[in-house]
């Protein structure tokens, strides 16, 4: 398997505090990796660096073998918008737009024509089990359904990597199970998944578990 994201001696310093300490890590294409660790151990900070939402203080980050130049904002946003799909604990859906429109938004931003975006978005919403609910607004959907719209939106531009920060943190066990099943199915399609969770039983469903501890990472 080829390496999709790699970190070399990455440190993140905020003020006097070193929140990531000398992290060297490789993520292979198609892997399903989970990140566990206590609150404040640096899980989100690491995820944001792996998703190019944040930059390290020192060290190098590579995407598909190419070293990231953090001064090249255009390159960074291309990777972020076209290669990465993000899912957070809170879904951040646009409240005034329907499920369909929320999924279409990243496609339209990329320049996909509206009719094509509609067809694609319907297909993705079907995949996450929301067929027939395309025109509902977030407030007309349950919490679990809202999170599935967020998963669909993350899949909009056919990303190679899905980064999820506590994606089931606000869900009951049934909805957690549904989101996990969707993750497993999109991983089978060959997408790389990196998921932060504090639940070890969920982390164990990934083939590889990383544990953050005081800004350092260890393989479990």
Ligand X SMILES: Nc1ncnc2c1ncn2[C@@H]1O[C@H](COP(=O)(O)OP(=O)(O)OP(=O)(O)O)[C@@H](O)[C@H]1O
Span from 40-48, 145-153, 168-176, 203-211 in contact with Mg ion (CB under 5 A): 40-48
* Nearest to ligand X of 16, 71 (CB atom): 16
Q: Quick one: 39 or 173, whose CB is closer to ligand X?
A: 39
Rank residues 124 and 202 by Cβ distance to ligand X and give the closer one. Answer: 202
- Of 21-29, 42-50, 69-77, 90-98, the window that binds ligand X (rule: CB under 6 A) is 42-50
Q: Measure Cα distances from 193 to 32, 76, 106, 167 in Å.
A: 5, 19, 19, 12
44 binds Mg ion (CB under 5 A): yes
Strand partners, 3: 28
Task: Give one DSSP letter per residue of 68-108, joined into a string.
Answer: P-TT-HHHHHHHHHHTEEEE-SS----TTS-HHHHHHHHHH
Give the distance, in angstroms, between the CA of residue 126 and the centroid of all CA atoms in the same chain: 20
**Could you say whether residue 87 binds ligand X (CB under 6 A)?**
no
Residues 155-214 close enough to bind ligand X by CB under 6 A: 198, 212
Which two three-digit tokens encode residue 124? 């993705």
C-alpha span between 192 and 213 (Å, rounded): 23
Cβ at position 210, least distance to ligand X in Å: 12
The one among 32, 36, 42, 121 contacting ligand X by CB under 6 A: 42
Residues 61, 10 contacting (CB under 8 angstroms)? yes
Binding pattern to ligand X, positions 7-36, x when CB under 6 A? -------x----x-----------------
Nearer to ligand X, 37 or 167 (CB): 37
Angle at 173 between CA 179 and CA 34, to 5 degrees: 50
Residues of the shown chain interacting with ligand X in the complex, contacts defined by CB under 6 A = 14, 19, 37, 39-45, 198, 212
């Amino acid at each position: 398997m080829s390496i999709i994201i790699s970190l070399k001696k990455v440190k993140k310093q905020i003020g006097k505090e070193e929140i990531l300490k000398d992290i060297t890590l490789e993520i292979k294409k198609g892997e399903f990796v989970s990140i566990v660790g206590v609150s404040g151990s640096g899980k989100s900070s690491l995820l944001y660096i792996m998703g190019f939402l944040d930059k390290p203080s020192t060290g190098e980050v590579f995407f598909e073998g190419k070293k990231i130049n953090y001064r090249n904002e255009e390159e960074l946003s291309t990777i972020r918008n076209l290669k990465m799909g993000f899912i957070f604990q809170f879904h951040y859906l646009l409240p005034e737009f329907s499920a369909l429109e929320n999924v279409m938004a990243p496609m339209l931003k990329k320049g996909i024509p509206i009719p094509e975006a509609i067809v694609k978005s319907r297909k993705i919403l079907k995949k996450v089990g929301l067929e027939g609910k395309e025109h509902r607004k977030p407030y007309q959907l349950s919490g679990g359904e809202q999170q599935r719209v967020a998963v669909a939106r993350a899949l909009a531009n056919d990303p190679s990597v899905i980064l999820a920060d506590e994606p089931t943190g606000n869900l009951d066990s049934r909805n957690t199970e549904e989101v996990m099943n969707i993750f497993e199915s999109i991983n089978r399609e060959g997408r790389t998944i990196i998921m932060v969770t504090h639940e070890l039983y969920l982390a164990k469903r990934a083939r590889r578990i990383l544990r953050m501890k005081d800004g350092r990472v260890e393989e479990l």
